[in-house]
Structure 1
Amino acid sequence: MLTPEQMLRIEPFFPLPHGVPRVDDRRVLSCILFVIRNGLRWRDAPAGYGPHKTIYNRFIRWSRLGVFNRILTELAAQSGETDNLMIDATHLKAHRTAASLLKKGLYPDVSDAAEAA
């Protein structure tokens, strides 16, 4: 679960509610990160995070609104220059339909994050 300090730092990037109280953004974002980090299907998300359909819908909505792109861009800009370069050699096997997620706008595109800054 994200700490309250972490959530406070990225809270300005989330859209404002439209009158109807929504499920806790911190809990939903924590679940999104958990599912993506562990390579789970949405329906395999732990029940403690809430309904998997809510988590999935929020991920899709925030992806289309560019919430994740703005968060990553701002956090990268706040980090400043470093002397370290990290290279990740993770190898993931993806299903052939995974390539279409970026085209449909369902997964954050961070390839132009440096240009936005």
Structure 2
Amino acid sequence: MTRRQLTDEQWQLIEPFLPIGEYGPYPERLREQFEGVIWRFRTSSQWREMPGEFGPWPTVYGRFRVWRDAGVFTVLLEGVIAEAARQGKTDLSLVSVDSTTARAHHDAAGM
């Protein structure tokens, strides 16, 4: 029995952002692999500790690396924000911008 991390509605929003390569993942395992990535970061566990229900951990880790390197998570975040805005569920009062100023040594400027 698979522990679902995502509702079907959430998955319908996420799935179009996940590329399916020439050699996989097989579409029927795509959700399990993505949920394996979620499990890994929610639990702060090591990849090797991943339950088998998400597939072999090296496969899930490899899929994560492909998605990370392709910028999938950045595009997914932007897509989720755009969908929330479309539904009127964004609250810009929650946006936080932080900056820090640090003085550099005068040699850092090439003096």
Q: TM-score range by the shorter chain?
A: 0.5 to 0.7
TM-score (norm 2): 0.67
Which residue, 13, 17, 20 being the options, matches 1:13?
Answer: 17
1:53–1:66: structure 2 CA closer, same or farther, 3 Å change rule? same
Sequence identity percentage? 32
Offset at residue 66 of structure 1 (A): 0.8
TM-score (norm 1): 0.64
- Listed as ranges, the matches of 1:1-117 within 5 Å are 1=4, 2-18=6-22, 22=26, 24-80=29-85, 81-82=90-91, 85=94
Which protein shows a greater Rg? 2
Q: Gaps spanning 5+ residues in structure 2: where?
A: 97-111
Total equivalences in the alignment: 87
CA distance in 2, matches of 1:75, 1:32: 17
The CA RMSD over aligned residues, in Å, is: 2.2
Q: Gaps spanning 5+ residues in structure 1: where?
A: 88-117
Write out the 4+ residue segments of structure 1 that deviate beyond 6 Å after TM superposition.
none
Shifted more, 43-52 versus 54-63: the winner is: 43-52
